[in-house]
Amino acid sequence: MVPPVIGLTGGIGSGKSTALAAFERRGAAVLSSDDVVHRLYREADVAAAVVERFGRELLDEAGEVDRAILRERAAADPGGFSFLEGLIHPRIEGARTAWIDRQRGLQPPPPLLVCEVPLLFEVGLEAAFDAVLVVTASEGVRRARVQDRGQNFEHLASRQLPEQEKAGRASSYFTNDGDLEGLDAWVDERFEEFAVSTE
């Protein structure tokens, strides 16, 4: 059987990456959009496009794009984030499609494919997946997790759909306000629900 492709999303600090790691431990093949973006910024044409728009100062000593400086530059430039989205989003789509094809071509393919896509609903990608799962958490919990990492919760959250709306559009959602065992148990159930036998 062809393994289904699940889109995994949720707000900033909700626990998406933690859930993705749990799916991987269960035997799913997983793809993180954030890792894809890291790889894309190392590609020569992407690096050249951001240097042309935002200046050479955003390259680090190794000549690679420093994403913290890039974020600052993009925030200070009207239309900066739209420019980056136009540059990066189509390339993420291409990388994901190629990854899915590669995974499904393996012998045997993995029983389930899971892609973490932070802005899945915002970018309108529901139709790209067989099912969409949402990990959410209450705002106070998410804010504390994000602030622990020294990031600005308000700024990041302002560009995302409300959590309730995402949960309402999901095949299944989990409110990750409790301990990690609860999240793992939900991932186990979803794995049982969607994984197929590919032997």
Q: Which residues bind ligand ATP (CB under 6 A)?
A: 10, 12-18, 118, 145, 176, 179-180, 183
3-state helix, strand, coil in the chain (%, to 5): 55, 15, 30
Nearer to ligand ATP, 55 or 162 (CB): 162
Distance in angstroms between the alpha carbons of the first and the last residue of the chain: 8
Nearest approach in angstroms of CB 13 to ligand ATP is 5
Q: What is the Cα–Cα distance from 52 to 172, expressed in whole angstroms?
A: 42
Angle at Cα 7 formed by Cα 5 and Cα 12, nearest 5°?
A: 160
Phi, psi of 59 (to 5 degrees): -90, 140
Nearest approach in angstroms of CB 49 to ligand ATP is 24
Residue of 139, 126, 147, 149 lying closest to 177 (CA atoms): 139
Nearer to ligand ATP, 22 or 65 (CB): 22
Nearest approach in angstroms of CB 42 to ligand ATP is 20
Nearest approach in angstroms of CB 197 to ligand ATP is 29
Nearest approach in angstroms of CB 56 to ligand ATP is 28
Nearer to ligand ATP, 39 or 102 (CB): 39
Number of alpha carbons in the 13 Å side-chain half-sphere of residue 123:
17
Nearer to ligand ATP, 14 or 103 (CB): 14
Nearer to ligand ATP, 6 or 109 (CB): 6
Nearest approach in angstroms of CB 77 to ligand ATP is 23
Q: What is the Cα–Cα distance from 19 to 8, expressed in whole angstroms?
A: 9
Nearer to ligand ATP, 180 or 196 (CB): 180
Residue of 193, 197, 186 lying closest to 15 (CA atoms): 186
